[in-house]
């Protein structure tokens, strides 16, 4: 027998609760997910675990961009991660998981 997991959307917060250029941490099915809203209103979600420090801190990182790519810099050792792919731009051998995110009405949802 084959068991297939079904992805579902999990309600995280209201859109207005996410301040522009700030992150928030949400517990989504037991995983810490860093959720971001950029100054232009785009939403991104990736693992909150910084692989360099092994601390759950990416939601506290500094948002920015490199060559037009939206990024977050870890507050620990300042490695920069691409918000769209999770790739570390300072060490391409390292990445963090990303999550699908959407706005459903005025609610932010993350896919599990």
Question: What is the full per-residue pLDDT of the chain (112 aa) written as tens digits?
Answer: 666 667 899 999 999 999 999 999 999 999 999 999 999 999 999 999 999 999 999 999 999 999 999 999 999 999 999 999 999 999 999 999 999 999 999 999 999 8
Domains contained in the chain, CATH given: 9-111 (2.102.10.10)
Q: How far apart are CA 101 and CA 35, in angstroms?
A: 9
> Looking at residue 112, what is its pLDDT?
86
Please list the residues that pair with 107 across neighbouring strands: 14, 104
Handedness of CA 73, 99, 84, 40 (dihedral sign): negative
Three-state SS at 50:
strand
**Torsion of Cα atoms, 93 then 81 then 25 then 108, to 10°:** -110
Instruction: In whole angstroms, give the CA distance from residue 48 to residue 25.
Output: 7
pTM, rounded to two decimals: 0.93
């Amino acid at each position: 027998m084959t068991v297939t997991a079904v992805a579902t959307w999990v309600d995280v917060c209201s859109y207005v609760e996410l301040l522009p250029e700030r992150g928030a941490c949400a517990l989504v099915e037991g995983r810490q997910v860093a959720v971001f809203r950029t100054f232009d209103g785009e939403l991104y979600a990736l693992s909150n675990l910084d692989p360099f420090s092994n601390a759950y801190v990416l939601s506290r990182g500094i948002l920015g961009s490199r060559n037009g790519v939206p990024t977050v810099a870890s507050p620990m050792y300042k490695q920069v991660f691409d918000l769209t792919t999770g790739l570390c731009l300072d060490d391409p051998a390292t990445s963090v998981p990303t999550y699908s995110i959407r706005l459903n009405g005025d609610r932010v949802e993350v896919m599990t």
